[in-house]
Chain A
Amino acid sequence: MSPGTLPTLTHLQFIVIGALLADEQSGKDLRIELKRHGVRRTGPAFYQMMARLEDSGWIDGFYTQEIVDAQIIKERRYRVKPAGVRAWNSTRDFYASVSSRFDRVAHV
């Protein structure tokens, strides 16, 4: 993607994939991460968004399970895919190039 065209990822997708770059994370932790950025999403709305990211081939979703107090607790976890890393990098490059241009304008 050339720096001139609009980025592939929306700002929410950018935050989510950014959070997954370091390590795989659970849906619950990702929602906390989003909340830290001031984004509040209900469970269904959040998981619908994650499903769309999976559909577009940027992330992988899977279940893990553990036993807590004799009860099986399942957790939806996500990891980023190479295509997701590429999309995140190109979005970051876009914002970097645009902001550097505006930086120059601001300094004038």
Chain B
Amino acid sequence: MSDRIPRLLTRLARALPDGGFARMWEPSLEDLRAERRTRAGFLWRAVVMLAECYRVALWAALTGPRVRQREPQAEAIGLMDTLIQDARYAGRMLAKNPGFTSVAVIALALSIGANAAIFSLIDSLFVRRLPYAHADSLIRLWGQSTDGRQQRLPASVPKFEHLRRSQHSSVALAADGGLAVAMTGVGDQPQHVIASVVTDNYFDVLDVSPIAGRTFLRGEEDRVPVVVITRQFWMNRLLSDPNAVGRTLTFDSRAYTVVGIVNDLPASDVGRVEAFLPMPVELSGLPPELRQRGVGYLRITGRLNPGVSIEQARAEAAILAEQYRDENREKADSSLHETVIGLREDLTGNVRPAILTLLAAVALVLLIACSNVANLLTARFAGRRREIALRAALGAGRVRIVRLFLLESLTLSGLGAIAGLGVARLCLEMLPAFGATNLPLDGVVTITPTVLCATASVALASGMLMGIFPALQAARPSASDALKDVGRGVWGAKAQHRMRSMLVACQVSLSLMLLVGAALLIASFANLRRQEPGFDPARVLTADVSLPASRYPDASAQQQFRQRVLDRLRVSPGIESAAFAAGVALTGLDWNAPFARGDGQVPTLHERSLGLTRSVSPGYFATMSIPVVAGRDFSEHDAAESPRVIAISQSTARKLFPDTDAIGKTIVTGSLDGGTRCEIVGIVGDVRSVNLAQRNDVEFYLPFTQRPLDVAQIVVRTAGDPLRMLNDVRAAVRGVDPELPLNQPRALVDVADASLGQRKLLMTLLGTFAGLALLLATVGIYSVVAYLVGERTGEIGVRLALGASNADVLRLVTLDGLRPVTAGLAIGVVGVAAFGRLLATQLYGVSPLDPRVLAAAASALGVVGLIACLVPARRATRIDPAIALRTN
């Protein structure tokens, strides 16, 4: 058992007030130690003892001076008694009005629940510690293009070696890269395993200890065929074999000895990796010449030396990148800058704006709920003026009355928080259905003690916020005035009416902000869904195929495999066309290569920009339905030894050859021998291949034969449901190589949908919160107008008796009710500007201050407000003047 619990207990004990740690905790703990219990018994007793310490300390704080020699408990009993008395009374009063209590508790439960759910997400994403020791000192190094448009670019082998050799700010630098391998010899069929090629110090840098065996030794890198597997791999694939360490596994026809088992590393960091191989260079998936030419595929992780800040590491990385540029001008990545960020930020940085937006949204919902309940409390406390007057007459001070009412609102918020935790749990259970798989979460999101503390704080703050003003206002009048006016219904009415109107205006303005925010996100999502990606993802199936170097050592063997698979696929019924690509649009497999126009003065390699470059086989454009707008598609004649050819996108043609026809012109691409000259043979339509929201400035396509890679994706256009053809595709691959598994088969439509997952989650959640806000605001407006009608029954009776028509009364009540709504809408427009700024980064194709969206949201809120006013207003017209006058 770890020492975490005793350490935690000691830390909690140190927080005891008034020297409680030394006074109570230390001697009690020593006595407990002397009892020599079992460890479990000791821990349990220590936890109970800590709770007792806090109880004693709380009692001491409540009872005042610590040294009490006479009548030690008299004062304490007085204070505690009244508090308990007031709390019981508050409970009784709430129980007497179940309607009011349930409305208030439901409103608070929904809003506090939404807050707790978002707190849980924040806790999981940003607060919970990564399972690495001293994770705060872990950093990540990424490349960045000179213009900053391309970020988080992986490092090449030469660059990593340069950084590893020359840096001083980190204890060490480690690197890893993704790799998909086929495992044979375990089970009947070859199995697809997601592995990672890592440097031999990878686990040392992360400070991860093995749970069995060992991790890698110095000198094993790219030399010794060993593997470290994860706990999940050991349990699922090796069926918890007790002799797993030392066993031999075959990956891509090569034998590796299992030397250790480690706990599963966080999915947010390593994805679904199950095995680690110390072959970062040998199994890179790149030909040696490309590797040495500066093609990047390594993710660098470091651990800062004690006392070194990230800023210092960043400065050092910039200097080292400069040195690398000077010494390696012929390398493809020589022009890249190096950036350093903390590991936590690296994993969660891209979801931060979305989560901040949601946090702001739930805070707004909570404010609306608070103002709603405050409104109800104002009416409720005002209705108890006789009780207040009596209490005051009998000697109760203002503080005591305020305390009594505050206890009521705190009880409400406490009940709301308890119910809210249930709501939060439900929300978290539904999270995967909303698309939370797009968030970098490790495991299930749960309500942790941290979230509980935050929720309790929110409940406490809400209770104070919504109770303090109504309580202060209710406790204001003198007893004699109130007693004289009992039953008149006019006491304090003006001030309270003003306050209730202000609260309604506040609710309306906050609701407008949320409604506009949700409408903007929905419009953005709709724009993105409507966005033409430049290809047709319907009926297209894609899957990864990784060719092991042991069986496919050269480009010709790889090309033969691809051609044979395509030959089989093309004759398969139900398949319209098929091709290979590295990689298929939106699948995340994107390569950047330096490029330049081939005519005139060609800039040196390190001065060239990077552009998206894909290797595709003939038929790729037809399979993806990418139009060839000029020139031709690749063909079987574009062989390895043929003149080099290239196809470019329309945007590339416009950018590089604005005044002339690009067909026949030359592009220098890649880094081999200073770049390869390729003749442009085709111009194809623009494709949003990285991200549906982003148009690519440049995109190049090279034939696979002339730019071979051992990683590729099959892409197949089918006549019907693409997933139904999966077995045919698998059979075609197995027919050529029975040991080759098909990795990650998926319909391209699903890939396109998944690329919008995070936006969908944000839109759904913000839409839900906006709906909740609208509901709360409607209830708020309705309750205020209904209360107003009740208060003015006598006045309305007089008006009707004096000849006012129903229409006059309807107009009077509705206009009075709509006044705070209109004011709220006006204030809300100003708030929308602030909220829109927060949302700006999440929007696509719509401005944060889009007048149509603003007008639609304001109109919707206005109509809802009008309906909420009309219902009680109609009731007012049915007042019988005789009864109303008699009542008063």
Q: Chain A residues in contact with chain B, CB under 8 A?
A: 6, 8-10, 13, 27-28, 42-48, 50-52, 55-56, 63, 68, 71, 73-76
Contact = CB atoms under 8 A, between A and B. Distances in A.
A2 to B, nearest CB: 15
B28 A43 contact: yes
B53 A55 contact: no
B24 A76 contact: no
Given A44-B25, A44-B52, A47-B24, A52 B68 contact: yes
Given A43-B28, A75-B30, A9 B69 contact: yes
B34 A43 contact: no
A48 B25 CA distance: 9
B30 A76 contact: yes
Given A9-B69, A55-B67, A44 B31 contact: no
Contacts of A56: 67, 69
Contacts of B24: 43-44, 47-48, 51
A52 B67 contact: yes
5 contacts: A43-B27, A50-B27, A52-B68, A56-B69, A74-B30
A8 B70 CA distance: 7
Contacts of B69: 8-10, 13, 56
Interface of B: 19-20, 23-28, 30-34, 49, 52-53, 55-56, 60, 66-70, 72
Nearest to B54: A44
Contacts of A50: 27
Given A27-B31, A52-B68, A73-B34, A43 B23 contact: no
A83 B34 CA distance: 31
A73 B33 contact: yes
Contacts of B60: 48
Nearest to B19: A51
A51 B21 CA distance: 12
B68 A28 contact: no
B52 A42 contact: yes
A44 B34 contact: no
A48 B663 CA distance: 90
Contact of A55 (B20, B32, B34, B66): B66
Given A10-B69, A47-B23, A56-B69, A73 B30 contact: yes
B70 A6 contact: yes
A42 B49 contact: yes
A75 B52 CA distance: 20
A44 B49 contact: yes
B31 A28 contact: yes
Contacts of B70: 6, 8
B72 A10 contact: yes
A103 B739 CA distance: 106
B56 A76 contact: no
A68 B55 CA distance: 32
Contacts of B20: 48
A47 B27 contact: yes
Given A43-B52, A55-B66, A75-B31, 9 more contacts: A9-B69, A27-B27, A42-B28, A43-B28, A44-B24, A44-B49, A44-B56, A51-B24, A56-B67
Contact of B53 (A44, A63, A68): A44
A31 to B, nearest CB: 8
A8 to B, nearest CB: 6
Contacts of A71: 33
Contacts, number: 68
A51 B23 contact: yes
B49 A28 contact: no
A74 B29 CA distance: 9
A86 B67 CA distance: 18
Contacts of A74: 30
A44 B24 CA distance: 5
B23 A45 contact: no
Contacts of A8: 69-70
A51 B23 CA distance: 6
B31 A43 contact: yes
Contacts of A6: 70
- Which 5 pairs, one residue from A and one from B, show the smallest C-beta to C-beta distance? A43-B28, A76-B27, A44-B24, A51-B23, A44-B53
Contact of A75 (B25, B34, B66): B34
Contacts of B53: 44
Given A27-B27, A48-B24, A51-B24, A43 B32 contact: yes
A56 B60 CA distance: 16
Contacts of A55: 66-67
A70 to B, nearest CB: 13
Contacts of B27: 27, 43, 47, 50, 76
Given A51-B24, A76-B30, A45 B56 contact: yes
A42 B53 CA distance: 9
Contacts of A47: 23-24, 27-28
A40 to B, nearest CB: 12
Nearest to B30: A74
A58 B532 CA distance: 87
A73 to B, nearest CB: 5
A27 to B, nearest CB: 6
A13 B67 CA distance: 12
A35 B169 CA distance: 62
A73 B35 CA distance: 10
Nearest to B13: A44
A53 to B, nearest CB: 9
B259 to A, nearest CB: 37
A44 B28 contact: yes
Nearest to A75: B30
A6 B119 CA distance: 56
A43 B49 contact: yes
A84 B49 CA distance: 29
A45 B28 CA distance: 9
A47 B53 CA distance: 10
A76 B34 CA distance: 12
A50 to B, nearest CB: 8
B25 to A, nearest CB: 7
Interface centre among A10, A42, A76 (most CB of B within 10 A): A42
Contact of A52 (B30, B33, B66): B66
A27 B52 CA distance: 17
Contacts of A52: 66-68
A50 B25 CA distance: 13
A62 B435 CA distance: 61
A42 B27 CA distance: 12
B425 to A, nearest CB: 34
A63 B26 CA distance: 10
A76 B22 CA distance: 11
A79 to B, nearest CB: 15
Contacts of B25: 44
Contacts of A63: 30
B67 A45 contact: no
Contacts of B66: 51-52, 55
Contacts of A42: 28, 49, 52, 56
B55 to A, nearest CB: 8
Contacts of A9: 69
A98 to B, nearest CB: 16
A74 B34 CA distance: 8
B34 A28 contact: yes
B67 A48 contact: no
Nearest to A87: B69
B123 to A, nearest CB: 31
Contacts of B23: 47-48, 51
Contacts of B55: 44
B763 to A, nearest CB: 52
A75 B31 CA distance: 7
Nearest to B33: A73
A93 B34 CA distance: 38
Contacts of A68: 34
A6 B68 CA distance: 14
A71 B35 CA distance: 13
Contact of A45 (B30, B34, B52, B68): B52
Nearest to A53: B67
A47 B60 CA distance: 13
